[in-house]
Amino acid sequence: MFYLKRIFVLSLLVFIPVNIFAEIQYVYMKDGRILKGEVLHQSAFKIRFKSAEGKEEEILKSSIRRITFKNPDIKEPIKQEKIEKPDPAIEAKVDQQKIKPIFSDRHSFEILGGIGRSSYESQVPNFHRNVEQYGSILGGNGGFFYNSPDRKNSDAKTINLRYTWKRIVAELGGSHLNSLESVNNFGYIVYPDLSGTTVSQGAFSPGVPYHTISYKQINAQISYTVYSRSGLEIRPILGYHKIWQKGKDDSTYDISPKDPTNTNAVDWTIKYGTSFSDYLSGPSVGAAIEYKWKEKWETRWEFQKQFLHGNSIYTRDQIAYLVGSFFEERAALNNQWKVDSQVISGKLIYHWRDSIFFWTGFQYSKLSYKMEHLGGDLDLNGTALDAYINTILIQSLTQGLAGNSTAKAIYIGAGYSLDFSKKETQ
């Protein structure tokens, strides 16, 4: 009978879980709770904890007072809970010790996208309209004059890829901004009448619908963290940018009514069309400032200066119709530019889950143009010498017509991140 009892006790021990012999960890929370279990692994900001009942959860380190192997039933003197202000030199040293492992383990990739509203004003069509007005005045061969453009906001979208490895951050992104523009015009059209003489007749646009002008930009950049403390991070940036600007208006009609004082004048209907394209590219330098707080919130700021070169093409067509008659004229300019640009962008980010975040932000670009070469097919009357002198005069006068392009947008969006730096510690 004694041997049967021994066998029964030993058989019970076989079914007792082995992990009861492992050391139990106690997590003291700031809210007063004491969790009993095992820390499976940890990152810079949180731990994965398995309770004694087998339930796993992630706990932010900011909500933990301490982790020990000591049974919480043993009372501790109150004085041990007193928080003393550390020496500043020691605190700075501890901060640096905390930063070092964060950078040594940091390895992630994220993609974010956003939509919003944008306001865009291009100096390219404004410049060419002013050049056309100078040509009309100096050439004396007709031409049109323009009122200040009327603009409306339109849609915007952006996307960005970001790769982080230790202190290095590499990014590839792009944005597309749009705006609506309407420009009224008036002036004179010069044409040969039915008797073969030249007639100058006034024309105007009775109403101009809005057309879209667009601003597209792609950029690649790399930065390196030179300063980081208490959630603040500063990085210098080197980048390269490409910018496309385009606009086209084929929906405008001009009316040229008959001049009652001129018996040779006739009524004309004029199809009026303009288009422009602008291509710029070049390097950039700048700085990124990021700040993280309360574990889930983050702000990102970027300040960049771009050094761009490129060219623009602008065309203006007039096609006039009348029974038995037809008139067509085109003016085109192809200019080369040097452009200094300043870009500011900002983002406010909320990390909803480990891999999902939401953000809102803005983008502002100002492009200051300086003309390097004026080229085109301006129609100038007179002798070859007169045409040459007028061309030089137009180039001299138009140097001061180059202005600024501005592109502004506000966004809301979401993103997804992958953290490759998670390491499990048993």
- Give the pLDDT confidence score for residue 214 in this predicted structure: 95
Task: Show the 3-state SS of 5-60.
Answer: HHHHHHHHHHCCCHHHHCCCEEEEECCCCEEEEEEEEECCCEEEEEECCCCEEEEE
Q: Indicate the CATH number of 22-84 among 3.40.50.2000, 3.40.50.1700, 2.30.30.100, 3.20.20.140.
A: 2.30.30.100
Q: Estimate the crossing angle of helix 384-398 against helix 123-139, to 10 degrees.
A: 150
Residue pLDDT, tens place only, 138-148? 665 667 778 88
* 8 Å CB contact between 413 and 112: yes
Percent of the chain, pLDDT > 70?
A: 73
Provide the mean pLDDT of the chain.
79
Residue pLDDT, tens place only, 374-412? 776 555 455 555 555 566 666 666 667 788 999 999 999
What is the reported pTM?
0.70
* 8 Å CB contact between 127 and 367: no
CATH superfamily, with its number, for domain 106-419? OPCA outer membrane adhesin/invasin (2.40.128.100)
Tell me the domain boundaries of the chain.
22-84, 106-419
The two structure tokens encoding residue 266: 């006739």
DSSP lists the bridge partners of residue 175 as 158, 217
The whole-angstrom separation of Cα 275 and Cα 315 is: 6
